């Protein structure tokens, strides 16, 4: 079965990477969809998120990354997906995620949503927290995959490599 995991990934976090890795084990193919979130002002350009996610997903032969130009369910069907993967970091995510799943089910009959609980080690990580730390010049090394750290804090990444 083909699954789609959609998000704004602005920027991608360790939590996103975890859900991608776990989805890759569950499905024969996973399409990671970079979707625009009209409620959020963009931080990274879509093309930069695409590049970073492709690097993060490189170890998984069954994962591809695409930009979603419209509704997630429509793009998911274009790729032959039968299920959407969503993650919930904590109880606060539940209501919004379930509502989204119901709407997606109404828009695309037969489109199921699989909820993967986020790894507790990453439950405090959000793209918003990453952006906030960056604004204040703090390290994001503990929150993001290495390619994101290198792209967004190259001077700190170089220092950590030199210290090894």
- d(CA 73, CA 84) in angstroms, rounded, equals 8
Q: Which of 16, 29, 49, 86 is catalytic?
A: 16
- Our answer to whether residue 86 is catalytic in this structure is no
For the chain, the maximum distance between any two Cα atoms, rounded to a whole number of angstroms, is 54
Q: Which of 22, 49, 86, 89 is catalytic?
A: 89
- Our answer to whether residue 40 is catalytic in this structure is yes
- Our answer to whether residue 127 is catalytic in this structure is yes
- d(CA 140, CA 130) in angstroms, rounded, equals 6
- Our answer to whether residue 126 is catalytic in this structure is no
- Residues constituting the chain: 164
- d(CA 55, CA 143) in angstroms, rounded, equals 17
The contacts of residue 83 (CB under 8 Å, 6+ apart) are 1, 2, 3, 4, 27, 111, 112, 113, 114
Q: Which of 8, 86, 127, 139 is catalytic?
A: 127
Tokens standing for residue 65: 């990354």
- d(CA 135, CA 37) in angstroms, rounded, equals 20
Active site residues: 16, 40, 89, 127
């Amino acid at each position: 079965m083909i699954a789609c995991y959609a998000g704004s990934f602005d920027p991608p976090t360790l939590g996103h990477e975890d859900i991608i890795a776990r989805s890759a084990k569950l499905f024969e193919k996973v399409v990671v969809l970079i979707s625009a979130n009209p409620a959020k002002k963009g931080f990274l350009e879509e093309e930069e998120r695409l590049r970073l996610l492709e690097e993060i997903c490189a170890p998984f032969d069954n994962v591809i990354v695409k930009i979603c130009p419209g509704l997630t369910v429509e793009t998911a069907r274009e790729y032959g997906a039968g299920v959407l993967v969503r993650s919930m970091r904590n109880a606060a995510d539940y209501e919004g995620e379930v509502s989204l799943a119901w709407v997606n089910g109404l828009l695309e009959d037969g489109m199921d949503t699989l909820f993967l609980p986020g790894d507790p080690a990453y439950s405090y990580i959000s793209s918003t927290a990453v952006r906030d730390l960056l604004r204040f010049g703090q390290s994001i090394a503990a929150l993001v995959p290495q390619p994101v750290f290198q792209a967004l804090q190259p001077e700190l990444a170089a220092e950590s490599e030199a210290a090894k």
